[in-house]
């Protein structure tokens, strides 16, 4: 099997800690180069992560003819610019979320993908968790009824004034950084797109970004998804979904590498009731995601982080910001 050859555009922590080790463990993919605007930083990063080649500019990596796929973990406001540049060099692109900060930008990326014939995807690795896929099957099959109510949270502590997630000018803030996760999972498990949203945002007076955000999404069926996200709280992720007859609880929802949290609980009947625990072996969701992206290119298989999914996600996020500003329910 021919391995896809990946280049890493930037030295972000998620590349070092998650994506590069996952690619290096894959039989389908290999990391061949990394780039930084600082050649010494690129050299040290390459040595630390056992990557053979390094470049002192992003353009130099994009010019490398041996690379098939570019992974972009750059700050949010640079995503679209470097996706366009990568495609101009004939590269497929997997970009970290959020792939863009406006609906118009996502629409432009769809047109670029269609005209170039190159694959552009958004990195939401949790779609490749076996436990979330099993919940998706349960809800899609109708065996436990349709989802009526969902709720998701994502909290963490980030008080670093130099962290880009606390910078408004680069697309920082809780909603763009972590609120996207419960929204993405909720839309996917409801199997529909919201038609209306409401939202409340509390801004950080020091950083001028939202540090606590809550919202409500209403779906065509009448189902509702509520969510909360914040960057001034103890770390916690959780989601729950209720149908007419069942309730599902999911701890540490967006990660699949915690050995003691790879399960969901399903409850029936009135509260309190004893739930059934459905367990799974830990998996590397980043490796599974990268291999799925490889297969979307070389085997024409579907990829969960498609630009069509990105468009619906971005429309929802933009509508939530609008609702927070207007203090009204807004159409998506």
CA pair distance 327, 133, nearest whole angstrom: 35
Query: Residue 13: what are its φ and ψ, rounded to 5°?
Result: -60, -40
Query: Residue 128: what are its φ and ψ, rounded to 5°?
Result: -100, 15
Tokens 């209720």 correspond to 242
Looking at the chain, the number of H-run helices and the number of E-run strands are 11, 15
C-alpha 260: how far from chain center: 23
* Catalytic residue list: 97
Q: Residue 127 gets which letter from DSSP?
A: G
Q: Which helix (H) or strand (E) holds 33?
A: strand 29-35
Pairing of strands 69-72, 4-9: parallel
Q: Positive or negative CA dihedral for 183, 185, 187, 189?
A: negative
Angle at 310 between CA 238 and CA 192, to 5 degrees: 65
State both tokens at 85: 């540049």
State both tokens at 254: 């967006």
State both tokens at 214: 């809550």
Whether 236 contacts 151, CB under 8 Å: no
């Amino acid at each position: 099997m021919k391995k896809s050859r990946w280049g890493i555009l930037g030295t972000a922590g998620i590349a070092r800690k998650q994506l590069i080790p996952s690619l290096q463990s894959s039989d389908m993919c290999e990391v061949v180069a990394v780039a930084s605007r600082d050649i010494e930083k690129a050299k040290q990063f390459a040595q630390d992560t056992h990557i053979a080649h390094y470049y002192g500019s992003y353009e130099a990596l994009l010019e490398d003819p041996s690379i098939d796929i570019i992974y972009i973990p750059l700050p949010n406001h640079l995503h679209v610019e470097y996706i366009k540049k990568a495609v101009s060099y004939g590269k497929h692109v997997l970009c970290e979320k959020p792939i863009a900060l406006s609906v118009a930008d996502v629409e432009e990326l769809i047109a670029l993908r269609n005209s170039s014939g190159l694959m552009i995807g958004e990195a939401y690795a949790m779609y490749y968790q076996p436990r979330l896929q099993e919940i998706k099957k349960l809800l899609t099959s109708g065996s436990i009824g349709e989802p009526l109510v969902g709720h998701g949270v994502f909290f963490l502590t980030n008080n670093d004034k130099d962290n880009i997630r606390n910078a408004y000018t680069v697309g920082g803030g809780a909603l763009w950084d972590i609120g996207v996760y419960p929204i993405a999972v909720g839309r996917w498990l409801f199997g529909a797109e919201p038609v209306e949203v409401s939202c409340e945002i509390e801004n950080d007076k020091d950083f001028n970004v939202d540090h606590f955000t809550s919202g409500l999404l209403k779906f065509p069926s009448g189902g509702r998804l509520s969510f909360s996200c914040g960057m001034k709280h103890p770390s916690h992720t959780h989601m729950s979904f209720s149908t007419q007859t069942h309730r599902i609880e999911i701890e540490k929802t967006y990660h699949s590498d915690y050995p003691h949290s790879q399960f969901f609980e399903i409850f029936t009947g009135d509260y309190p009731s004893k739930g059934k625990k459905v367990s799974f072996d830990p998996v590397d969701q980043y490796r599974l995601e990268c291999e799925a992206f490889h297969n979307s290119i070389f085997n024409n298989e579907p990829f969960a982080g498609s630009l069509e999914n990105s468009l619906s996600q971005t429309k929802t996020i933009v509508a939530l910001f609008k609702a927070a500003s207007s203090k009204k329910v807004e159409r998506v």
